[in-house]
Every structure is written in C-alpha cells, then in structure tokens.
Amino acid sequence: MSVLVFYIAIFAGALFIVSLLRRMMTPRHDFTSLKTVTFGDESAVRPDRAASIISVLTVFVIWGAFTGSSLMPIHVPGPYSGTTEFTYTARNAAGQTDDAIVRVLVHKVGEDGEAPEIDPGDGFAKNDSDVLQEWRSELIRAHANDEGGDQEGYAVIAVDGQEIAPGETVRVADGTVAMTPKGSLNFTPRKGMQMEPIWLPSPEATVQRFVEIASEGYQNFTLWEHLGWSLLRVVAGFALGSLVGIPLGYAMGLSGWFRGWFDPIVEFMRPVPPLALIPLVIIWFGIWETGKIVLLFLAALWIMTIAARAGVSGVSISKIHAAYSLGASKWQILRHVIIPNSLPEIFTGARVAMGVCWGTVVAAELVAAQKGAGMMIIAASKFQLTDIVIMGIVLIGIIGYGIDMLMRKAERFLVPWKGQA
C-alpha cells in the first residue's frame, strides 16, 4: 500500500514540477493543450519523453528505497538492528514481584551474532539475553532461568511497566512483545517498511548476482548458454512456423478449397493458448528440444497463416486488374503483386508471433528444461534465490523488447511502403 501511495505521489509531483518548469521556459502558448482528443491518425497525444525517463527512474528509486539499497541516499524506515532491552515483571508462587532485563541482539541478514552477555542480576527473576535476525521474531524463555519459574503460580505480569496477559501485545522501545497463550514472551523487533531480500533483493544485489552468473554460469551452463538456448528455440520454432504457415496462408488466400478446408482448423486452433498444448506436446514429443520446438512451431503457425491469408486477401482488385491488363501471367501476378503486397501484413504477424513465441518458450522452460531463461527462474525460485528470479525477469523483458525493436527496424527497412499508401 505504502509503495502505491509513494508511486502516485511521485507521478503527480513530477507532472507538476515538469509542467511548471516548461511553462517557465516557453513563454509562447500554442493550442496543443486544446487538442485532447485523438483524431484518427492525427493523434495529438505523443509520449512525453521526460515522463518516460522519470517513470523508469521512479521504478529504480522505489526499488532502492524499499530495499535499503546503498545506491539510494534516502530510504523508507528499515528493520531494527542492534542491541535492545526491555524489562519484564514476574510474580512468583509466593506472590512477590521482581523485575528483570531481557537484552536482545538483532543482527542483519547474512550476518551472525551471539547473545550479548548479561549479569543475571538480583531477585528471583534473572536477566536474559537472546539473539535473532532482522524481520524475524524470537520466543524469549524468560522464566527458564528464574527461580521458581517452573512453579505453579509463577507468571510474567508486565513488560516495561505495562500489564500483559496471554494473547496480549505491548509496545517496547524497538519492537513489540507478545505473550503466547502459555505465558511465554515473544519479541518482534520493529520491521520498518523495507522489503526482506527474500521478497525483493536490492538493485545492487541483483546486479552483483548478474555479474556473478555472467562470469560463472548457473546450474552447469553459462548465462549466455541459458539465454542463447531460449533464443535458439524461439528462432527455430518461429522459422518452422513461418515456413509452413506463410505458404498455407497464401494457399488459403488464393484457393477456395484450401480456405474451406483449413478455415475450421485455423479458427479453432488460433484461440487455444500454446501453453494449453504443453501437456499434449510433452506426451507426444517428450520434454526435450523436439517438444519445445513443436510447441513454438504451433504458437507461430496459426499467427503466420492468418497474417499471410490477410495479406493475400488484402490486395486491391484494381492492382490485380492493372497487372492483368499490363500482360502479366498468373504466376507473375503472384510473384510481383500478391507476394509483395502481403509483406506488410506478414511482418505485422511476424512481430506478434515472435512476441508470443518468446513468452511461450519461457513458460515451456518453466515446465521442464535443463537450460534456458525460464529454467533459470524456476530453479532459482526453488532455492529462494529471489535475486536470480528478478535478474531473469529483467533479462527476459530486455530480450523480448530487443526482439520487437529489431523486427521493427527490419520492417522499416524491408517494407518501407507500409502504412504509406
């Protein structure tokens, strides 16, 4: 919740500051502010570069602030660590009361500590000491060393002067003390607002893990082998899907018989998510490479078929008529008119298919794999290595984005007329 409030505050604050700065820098007013509606392709709303930069920075700022990152100067309050004390008041069987101190060392995650030394003190209630890790809580066996602590009628009646009974909780200097139903004390040091590394490691821990895995590898394969294998599967599945899907789409666009024959199959298979096919593919093709490539082939096939079919159907009849009256034969029309005319549609399909394949390969590797980006994540999650999970997610995101950027570049280079006619 606090993260969300923090995020909205940064969003609104940045918007306010940036627009204030801009207003100061540009004295002239145009009418862009009046264009708030999108009119067809003449969109008045363009992405604000400053907003994008601040948005990305905000993610890292929040990530750093809520994980106690050393890269961030300001943090939200962290968990308590150090040595703290509280006193408890015990009443023995004879009805006498006595105070004793509990001294606790709360050490940081990944460090070790020993219970601090403490003098047992006077009276029948003896001082105690204990040690625990931040974010954890500890049962303090206060009565264990007290004289008569095992007798009927002995009870702890107050903590730091505040009365306590089984099931109740009182606040002490650096945390809370709760009494269990059996009358023991349970000390919980202040947790603060930061995330435990097991939930979300700090950015630098993730980067550090990335460097480590990039140089040493993970689970018998280098990082590049993991990512490379995922990419290879995607490329192989996509290539096979295109190789079959594009000719099939052309056939469906050109022949009524093909269209009628394959329409029910394509339209039926298209909405089935590839992930739903995983069990069947594993049963038929096994869990290794064949199974994965078949799955990706199926993921790409229908998308490419539909794209090619749409590309062929989309050719305007006047282009075909023009080519005929210029003396072109059927084959020449296919080669010089229909195929080039369908390329923009096929590229759109290819971009979608690559995105779906990348998503599917990661999911397929989650199910069964020895190497691959998805396998890295699932293997790390079993050992609660959250930093590897986060690193894997970031790498998968970057690669997916990179694939789409490359496809867009290729599109602009190969079909420059797309969207221009």
340 forms part of the interface with another protein (CB under 8 A): yes
**Closest separation in Å from C-beta 254 to another protein:** 18
Q: Which is nearer to another protein, 167 or 327 (CB)?
A: 327
**Closest separation in Å from C-beta 332 to another protein:** 5
Question: How many helices and strands in the chain, by DSSP H and E?
Answer: 12, 9
**Closest separation in Å from C-beta 416 to another protein:** 7
Question: Any idea which residue has 């999911």 for tokens?
Answer: 363
Q: Which is nearer to another protein, 161 or 340 (CB)?
A: 340
Give the residue, chosen from 337, 361, 364, 391, that forms a contact with another protein under the rule CB under 8 A. 337
409 forms part of the interface with another protein (CB under 8 A): no
247 forms part of the interface with another protein (CB under 8 A): no
DSSP lists the bridge partners of residue 140 as 185
Give the closest residue to 101 by CA, choosing from 30, 8, 177, 15.
177
Asked if residue 140 lies in contact with residue 128, where contact means CB atoms within 8 angstroms, the answer is yes
Output the CA–CA distances (angstroms, integers) from residue 106 to 19, 129, 191, in the order listed: 46, 11, 11
Give the residue, chosen from 153, 260, 273, 416, that forms a contact with another protein under the rule CB under 8 A. 416
Give the residue, chosen from 227, 282, 312, 323, that forms a contact with another protein under the rule CB under 8 A. 323
**21 vs 26: CA distance, rounded Å:** 9
Give the closest residue to 14 by CA, choosing from 59, 64, 44, 73.
59
**Closest separation in Å from C-beta 228 to another protein:** 35
328 forms part of the interface with another protein (CB under 8 A): yes
Secondary structure (H, E, C), 266-294: HHHHCCCCHHHHHHHHHHHHCCCHHHHHH
Rounded to the nearest angstrom, the gap between the alpha carbon of residue 255 and the centroid of all alpha carbons in its chain is: 46
Could you tell me the strand order of the sheet in which 169-172 lies?
A: 138-140, 185-189, 175-179, 169-172
Output the CA–CA distances (angstroms, integers) from residue 95 to 92, 135, 136, 144, 181, in the order listed: 5, 36, 34, 18, 21
- Gap between the terminal Cα atoms of the chain: 49
**61 vs 74: CA distance, rounded Å:** 9
386 forms part of the interface with another protein (CB under 8 A): no
Count of residues binding another protein (CB under 8 A)?
23
421 forms part of the interface with another protein (CB under 8 A): yes
Give the residue, chosen from 33, 256, 326, 382, that forms a contact with another protein under the rule CB under 8 A. 326
321 forms part of the interface with another protein (CB under 8 A): yes
325 forms part of the interface with another protein (CB under 8 A): yes
**Closest separation in Å from C-beta 408 to another protein:** 18
**Closest separation in Å from C-beta 266 to another protein:** 25
256 forms part of the interface with another protein (CB under 8 A): no
322 forms part of the interface with another protein (CB under 8 A): yes
310 forms part of the interface with another protein (CB under 8 A): no
412 forms part of the interface with another protein (CB under 8 A): no
314 forms part of the interface with another protein (CB under 8 A): no
336 forms part of the interface with another protein (CB under 8 A): yes
Helix (H) or strand (E) holding 97, with range, is strand 97-107
For another protein, the binding residues (CB under 8 A) are 316, 318-319, 321-329, 332, 336-337, 340-341, 343, 415-417, 420-421
